[in-house]
A and B are shown apart, each in its own frame.
Chain A
Amino acid sequence: MLNLVTCIKQVPMVSELPWDSKRGTLKREMADGMMNPACKHALEAALLLKNKFSGHITAITMGPPMAEEVLHEAIAMGADRGILLCDPHMAGADTLATSYTLARLIEKECADFDLVLCGCNTTDSETAQVAPQLTEELDVPGVMYVDQFELSDKSLRMQRTVDGFLETLEMELPGLISVSTQQYSPRYASFSGLQEAFNESDIKIYGIKDIGVDPELTGKKGSPTKILDVYSPMANKDNIVLSGSPRNVVEELFKKFDDKIGSAIGKDLKEYE
């Protein structure tokens, strides 16, 4: 029976960034949350493993109370239980503090895990750092950006494409992988799955005391990096608006930018009479 752990992050579900134009920051509180896509792919990979080899999946996440939603979604898709790490001390964590905290939970609740599966990166902070740092913290072998893998006995064989190399790698479990979005297209949760996830589901919420986490090493306190400022790159663009008949706007465009376009295509676009 495989003991699997999937790490999931709830990220803002934004199709347009709600701008706080005064502070030039993202109004994160306003956005609904969604399961980070790469984490969903990792969960899908875990579900396929569970189907094939008979296994047990613990979905874990760290975040505000609202993050509990992703655990219900994970269970609706087929995970067996969920744990939410939620504590004011844990807020404001960078990847170092996050990986420390997740590791403590895994050691406490899933101590004899076979495989930890993470998404390769998130759509919000996009650092792709939690998975490798978690590997270090747990001191197990780990491979990142895995496109595909097969398991036989306790040996995991993985394929990935990195830096122009097509690699096949192997490691013995227990281990950790971060899953890319190339394969493992996630299933939709069925409604009967969702209904069950709410009828009788095993979801726990833990704070720092429950898992023996040092408050100095978690959250903002445990984060060596500090954010000074957040802003939009849009501010720096010169935005020229042209309107009129198609022929006229095209003429205007070339009058102003024929060299820019020309250099991109390696041709001289000046008008010669």
Chain B
Amino acid sequence: MSNNSKKSARDIWVFGDYRNYFQNRVTLQLLARAVDLAPKIDARVCAVVFGNDVDEYIREYIAHGAQKVYVVDHPSLDNYPIETFVKLMEILVDKYSPEIVLIGATSFGREFAPRLAKRLRTGLSADCINLEIDDDGLMVQTAPSFGGNLLAKIVTPETRPQMATVRPGTFQEIPHDDNKKGEVIKTDLPDSLPVERVKVISSVRSQERSQKIEDARVVVCGGRGMGSKKKFKKLFELASILNGEVGATRPVVYSNWVDHDALVGQAGKHVKPQVLFSFGISGAIQHTAAINDAEFIVSVNKNPNAMMMKLADVAIVADANQVCAALIKELKKRIRN
């Protein structure tokens, strides 16, 4: 064996958050990214999963790129007791010294990761929308601030492991491949575990409070530029033809042109549609913070220099109401064909 093997191999660990597995693919997405980054620092891709009855997830993770999976499987881990999870992870990290630990930015992840980072006295960046390895072999994390209006490139030069939570949907998972093989390392629940000081009294799947607009593929947003409650209503017709949802800015909601549920903004809903139509909106930061994730933005405004026009992929300088009507007409024509 060469001398190199004496150094612990550099590993990239991905935490397996398997709750809500079918909606929440973030672990698989992170595994894919880890697979991309690993060659640059000569690392292996590992998954870490704690829980109850996790065999199928172990198989999934291997099928999606994990070369190794560290496992602690026990009934008491079923509802994700956080202090226990932090302790287990701390034990594993101390033992195996990974180079990088990636955790999906689910609500759980965004509480679990900082606690762990504090325990390990290392750096952590939150809700990242990109990860790269630079020429010095450091992981460069791109983290948003001010509602995504600002991006920062962050590194953790000294402390280890380098940690980041990553926004779900940032990376693309690798297709499932049953032929992939991986090593599984099971650990028993240690005897000396902290007593959970937070008791989970109940944990039920919430009646999906309608996430319609947050999940919508098309969103039609209107602002004060629409002119009046009556004129604003036309946006519902456009949204209906597009199978989309209607959103509004704060002045519109406060003027009662539309329900408070429709508020798209820092204090309202965040949307990430494939296409966003924005009518008569100037683009205050509280609103743009909630639409930054839209893939394709069409903004219609009489004022060519409104902030919203600069953020858009297509900026249409015209009257919002007239363009809305013209769009409806044109769509009806084309869809009929």
Using CB atoms and an 8 Å cutoff, list the residues of chain A in contact with chain B: 14-17, 26, 37, 94-96, 99, 123-130, 132-133, 135-137, 140-145, 157, 161-172, 175, 181, 223-234, 237-247, 249-251, 253-254, 256-258, 260-261, 263-267, 269-272
Known contacts: A124-B146, A165-B204, A247-B326. The answer to whether A133 contacts B318 by CB under 8 A is no
List, in ascending order, chain B residues with CB within 8 A of A129's CB.
Answer: 110, 113-114, 117, 124, 126
Judge whether B115 and A132 touch: CB under 8 Å.
yes
A interface footprint on B301-337 (CB within 8 Å = 1, 0 otherwise) = 0001001011111111111001101110111001101
List, in ascending order, chain A residues with CB within 8 A of B242's CB.
Answer: 261, 264-265
Main secondary structure of the interface of A (DSSP, over half): mixed
* Shortest Cβ distance from A165 into B: residue: B203
Using CB atoms and an 8 Å cutoff, list the residues of chain B in contact with chain A: 19-20, 23-24, 83, 86, 106-108, 110-111, 113-115, 117-119, 121-127, 140, 143-159, 197-206, 208, 217-218, 242-244, 266-267, 273-275, 284-286, 292, 296, 298, 304, 307, 309-319, 322-323, 325-327, 329-331, 334-335, 337
C-alpha spacing A239/B266, complex, angstroms: 24
By Cβ-Cβ distance, the 5 closest A-B pairs, closest first, are: A224-B123, A141-B197, A162-B107, A225-B123, A127-B126
Judge whether A241 and B315 touch: CB under 8 Å.
yes
* Shortest Cβ distance from B317 into A: residue: A243
Known contacts: A163-B107, A241-B304, A265-B217. The answer to whether A225 contacts B156 by CB under 8 A is yes
Judge whether A126 and B199 touch: CB under 8 Å.
no
C-alpha spacing A200/B85, complex, angstroms: 47
Known contacts: A26-B150, A272-B337. The answer to whether A169 contacts B326 by CB under 8 A is no
Judge whether A251 and B330 touch: CB under 8 Å.
yes
Judge whether B317 and A242 touch: CB under 8 Å.
yes
Pick the most buried of B113, B155, B284, B316: most chain A CB atoms within 10 A of its CB.
B316
Other A-B pairs, 4, CB within 8 Å; known A233-B151, A234-B310, A246-B319? A16-B307, A133-B115, A230-B152, A237-B313
Select A230's contact among B24, B147, B150, B159, beta carbons within 8 Å. Answer: B150
Select A246's contact among B113, B122, B208, B322, beta carbons within 8 Å. Answer: B322
Judge whether B292 and A233 touch: CB under 8 Å.
yes
* Shortest Cβ distance from A94 into B: residue: B123
Judge whether A164 and B124 touch: CB under 8 Å.
no
List, in ascending order, chain B residues with CB within 8 A of A232's CB.
Answer: 149-151
Known contacts: A141-B197, A225-B154. The answer to whether A249 contacts B218 by CB under 8 A is no
List, in ascending order, chain B residues with CB within 8 A of A263's CB.
Answer: 274
C-alpha spacing A261/B95, complex, angstroms: 52
Select A17's contact among B285, B292, B317, beta carbons within 8 Å. Answer: B285
12 contacts between A and B (CB under 8 A): A95-B124, A128-B110, A141-B83, A144-B110, A228-B154, A231-B151, A239-B310, A240-B315, A243-B317, A254-B334, A264-B217, A265-B218
Judge whether A166 and B206 touch: CB under 8 Å.
yes
Q: In the complex, how many angstroms separate the beta carbon of A101 from the nearest chain B beta carbon?
A: 13
Judge whether B313 and A240 touch: CB under 8 Å.
yes
List, in ascending order, chain A residues with CB within 8 A of B243's CB.
Answer: 265-266
C-alpha spacing A257/B233, complex, angstroms: 25
Judge whether B115 and A17 touch: CB under 8 Å.
no
Known contacts: A243-B317, A271-B337. The answer to whether A172 contacts B155 by CB under 8 A is no
List, in ascending order, chain A residues with CB within 8 A of B108's CB.
Answer: 162-163
List, in ascending order, chain B residues with CB within 8 A of A172's CB.
Answer: 197
Known contacts: A133-B117, A142-B198, A269-B334. The answer to whether A17 contacts B124 by CB under 8 A is no
Known contacts: A37-B267, A227-B153, A250-B330. The answer to whether A169 contacts B114 by CB under 8 A is no
Judge whether B275 and A261 touch: CB under 8 Å.
yes
Judge whether A249 and B318 touch: CB under 8 Å.
yes
List, in ascending order, chain A residues with CB within 8 A of B318's CB.
Answer: 243-246, 249
List, in ascending order, chain B residues with CB within 8 A of A241's CB.
Answer: 304, 309, 314-317
List, in ascending order, chain B residues with CB within 8 A of A234's CB.
Answer: 310-311
